Amino acid sequence: MAEKFQAVVIGGGPGGYVCAIRLSQLGFRTACVEARNTLGGTCLNVGCIPSKSLLNLSENFQKAKKLQNLGIEVGEVKLNLEKMMKNKEKSVSILTKGVEFLFKKNKVSHFNGTGSIASANEVLVTTKDNKKISLNTDNIIISTGSIPVELPGIKFDEKIVLSSSGALDLKSVPKKMVIVGGGYIGLEMGSVWSRLGSEVHVVEALNYITPGMDKEISSEFLKILKKQGIIFHLETKVQNIKNEKNSAKISIQDKTGKNSELIADVVLISVGRKANTKNLNLEKIGVSLDNKKRIKVNKEFRTSTKNIFAIGDVISGPMLAHKAEEEGIAVAELIAGQSGHVNYDLIPGVIYTSPEVAVIGKTEEQLKEGNIKYKVGKFPFMANSRAKTVNNAEGFVKILADEKTDKVLGVHMIGSHVGEMIAEMAVAMEFGASSEDIARTCHAHPTFSEAIKEAALSVEKRAIHS
Ligand code: FAD
Ligand code: NAD
């Protein structure tokens, strides 16, 4: 006999598990179906968490090699990649077990298996040993995330031709690594392996990296990454990749039409991700997709079938864990008759390289395109006392404010700690802050965050320290 629930969430990533917990908090008898053996989705298992672990450890490795210059004598600094990977796995395991604990605490029923939608009120779970479990439910929330995009005709083997999952799990440091795509994954993973000793080449189709970011930030970022030793091939197309068992042969063509070849130990394909709608039986149920094959939803996350909802990477919007979480909470509250909502204008983006990149709100290009008149305030970390003291003074803060009202419209930063500092601006902007509000807020000294205050002062050309 089918078990009866008020809500069944398919997918236990940051969208799905957060949604299941919130539904349970709101009094719904809730189940979450997850195909992986562990909870946490892409983010905890093969995304945000393992990548941030390796970014941190590789940065420490690189810093340790430079300690001598700072008057700290250490012995020879050597890499033990196996231990580093174990440390990464430990972080993943602690956090995925943490979600299991939260499910127990909040009385969410966890089903380990692949969920498919048998009818608008039934989810069928197929377990690894092929057992079928039927879940009867009033509401279904699809949160099945995304999967990496392959290049036409080139399959991931995760040994030579890698997706991000393979790049997070290499057994040795490749001598040479080619990365196709200069976006979030390419630049974070490129930084990791370059710090650990690989010669890293990034092949990017556009003439800039990190599309969608403020151009000034993206060109400063490019300059810094080049200085760190990453080699960029911009405006370059990949013609063909040959997997030669022990190496990859990548044929490329630059903007002048010149063809050449890169031979590498591994090639990482990081050209974006696509919605994962496999196994769900959507067509039969009548759930429509949009023109990019993502699940189409209205403002309340409702699909074309009334009691079926979708959130996270499987719908439109930035493919970010915190966006999926916000949607998970909003949809649970909407199902409960409350007024959950997500402010899509204020979703921060952070790239966890060194220095970090952190952005929120409109870019200068978007303001120009929308004919919105704006003022710019900028402050370099070179003039920030904390940044100078800790020898970490690359980058700047840029604030865009409305020319008339002074309301902050966008903040774009590159520098140390900016991934943490962006939260200050997210809160300020949610409250509709003006640049003057920021400029008149006392910031502790000496901190990196004083650069935000100075950038705000600089909107009215009255920065003190530059
Ligand atoms: P997912 O996390 O993809 O979870 C979906 C889950 O559904 C999966 O566990 C999958 O197994 C399960 N599933 C799929 N189909 C079924 C089915 N039929 N039945 C049962 N279960 C199913 N974002 C950030 O904000 N910050 C970062 O630092 C960051 N770093 C990243 C690094 C990498 C290398 C990658 C790949 C991504 C990163 N992201 C980051 C993006 C982030 O991981 C995603 O945006 C986020 O995980 C999306 O959450 P989700 O719940 O929508 O989907
Ligand atoms: P991306 O969209 O960030 O970058 C893809 C890049 O590949 C772009 O620069 C694009 O111009 C380029 N490209 C596309 N086709 C190409 C081709 N044929 N040849 C050369 N270049 C090509 O995608 P991603 O790096 O794969 O990451 C996927 C998503 O995962 C990101 O968009 C982001 O939402 C998420 N993510 C977030 C974080 C974070 O928040 N720190 C980290 C990793 C991943």
Instruction: Tell me the CATH number at 173.
Output: 3.50.50.60
Ligand nearest to the CA of 311: 1
Cβ–ligand 1 contact at 281 (below 6 Å): no
Ligand 2 nearest atom to the CA of residue 151, by list position: 18
Q: Are residues 53 and 97 in the same domain?
A: yes
185 Cβ closer than 6 Å to some ligand 1 atom: yes
In a domain, 454, yes or no: yes
Residue positions counted in the chain: 466
CATH number for 380: 3.30.390.30
pLDDT of residue 245: 83
CA of 196 to the centre of ligand 1 (A): 26
Helices 215-227, 184-195: axis angle to 10 degrees equals 20
Give the ligand whose atoms come closest to the C-alpha of residue 36. 1
> 73 and 31, same structural domain?
yes
Whether ligand 2 lies within 6 angstroms of the CB of 452 is answered as no
Could you tell me if the CB of 356 is within 6 A of ligand 1? no
Cβ proximity of 425 and 349 under 8 Å: no
Considering the domain architecture, whether residues 178 and 322 belong to the same structural domain is answered as no
Q: Closest residue (by CA) to atom 29 of ligand 1?
A: 48
CB neighbour class for 23 (10 Å; exposed up to 12, middle 13-18, buried from 19): buried
> What ligand 1 atom has the least distance to the C-alpha of 279?
18
Cβ of residue 272 lying under 6 Å from some atom of ligand 2: yes
Judge if 143 and 194 occupy the same domain: no
C-alpha of residue 36 to centroid of ligand 1, in Å: 11
Which 3 state secondary structure label does DSSP give 408? strand
Q: Whose CA is nearest to atom 46 of ligand 1?
A: 321
Q: Are 2 and 136 in contact (CB under 8 A)?
A: yes
- The residue out of 219, 250, 270 marking a domain boundary is 270
DSSP 412-423: EEEETTHHHHHH
Ligand closest in space to the Cα of 201: 2
Q: Is any atom of ligand 2 closer than 6 Å to the C-beta of 43?
A: no
Q: Select from 388, 455, 389 the least CA-distant residue to 421.
A: 455
Nearest-10 Cα torsion for 313, 424, 44, 199: 90
Q: What is the pTM of this model?
A: 0.98
In a domain, 70, yes or no: yes
Tell whether ligand 1 has an atom less than 6 A from the beta carbon of residue 280. Answer: yes
Instruction: Give domain status of residue 464, yes or no.
Output: no
146 lines ligand 1 (CB under 6 A): yes
Residue 366 inside a domain? The answer is: yes
363 shares a domain with 300: no
Domain end marker among 255, 270, 285? 270
Residue with tokens 């204020």: 346
| Residue 322: active-site member | no
13: Cβ below 6 Å to ligand 2?
Answer: no
pLDDT of 323: 99
**148 CA closest ligand 1 atom index:** 36
Is there a single domain that holds both residue 252 and residue 283? no
| CA proximity to 309, closest of 318, 296, 293, 291 | 296
Whether the CB of 328 sits within 6 Å of ligand 1: no
Q: Residue 1: its pLDDT value, please?
A: 73
Which of 42, 92, 326 to mutate for ligand 1's pocket (most ligand atoms within 8 Å of CB)?
42
Residue 465 lies in a domain: no
Q: Domain ends where: 270, 287, 316? A: 270
Give yes or no: residues 368 and 439 share one domain: yes
**CB distance 58 to 81 below 8 Å:** no
Question: Where is 10: in which H helix or E strand?
Answer: strand 3-10
370 CB-contact burial (10 Å; exposed 0-12 / middle 13-18 / buried 19+): exposed
Q: Judge if 190 and 178 occupy the same domain.
A: yes
Active-site residue, selected from the candidate residues 201, 341, 417, 445: 445
Q: How far is CA 26 from CA 23, 134, 138, 279, 333, in A?
A: 5, 24, 15, 29, 8
* CA 211 to ligand 2: nearest atom: 9
Whole-number Å distance between alpha carbons of 408 and 362: 9
Report helix, strand and coil shares of the chain as percent, to nearest 5. 35, 25, 40
Q: Which domain holds residue 365?
A: 346-458
Given ligand 1 and candidates 43, 112, 146, 150, which is best to mutate, with the most ligand atoms within 8 Å of its CB?
A: 43
Q: 466 lies in a domain?
A: no
Q: Let me know if residue 153 belongs to a domain.
A: no
Do 257 and 279 share a domain, yes or no?
no
Total of domains in the chain: 3
Atom of ligand 2 nearest to the CA of 270: 26
Mark whether 126 and 15 lie in a shared domain. yes
| β partners of residue 211 | none
Q: Residues 334, 337, 338, CA angle at the centre, nearest 5°?
A: 70
Digitized pLDDT (tens) for each residue of the chain, 466 residues in all: 789 999 999 999 999 999 999 999 999 999 999 999 999 999 999 999 999 999 999 999 999 999 999 999 999 999 999 999 999 999 999 999 999 999 999 999 999 999 999 999 999 999 999 999 999 999 999 999 999 999 999 999 999 999 999 999 999 999 999 999 999 999 999 999 999 999 999 999 999 999 999 999 999 999 999 999 999 999 999 999 999 989 999 999 999 999 999 999 999 999 999 999 999 999 999 999 999 999 999 999 999 999 999 999 999 999 999 999 999 999 999 999 999 999 999 999 999 999 999 999 999 999 999 999 999 999 999 999 999 999 999 999 999 999 999 999 999 999 999 999 999 999 999 999 999 999 999 999 999 999 999 999 999 999 999 9
Could you tell me the distance, in angstroms and rounded to a whole number, from the CA of residue 147 to the centre of ligand 1?
8
* The predicted structure's pLDDT at residue 2: 84
In a domain, 156, yes or no: no
State how far the Cα of 139 lies from the Cα of 141, in Å rounded to an integer.
Answer: 7
Long-range Cβ pairs for the range 366-371 (8 Å, 24+): 366/410, 367/400, 367/409, 367/410
Same domain for 315 and 394, yes or no, is: no
pLDDT of residue 256: 97
86/109 same-domain check: yes
First to last CA, the chain: 72
Pocket probe mutation, ligand 1, options 51, 144, 279, 315, max atoms within 8 Å of Cβ = 144
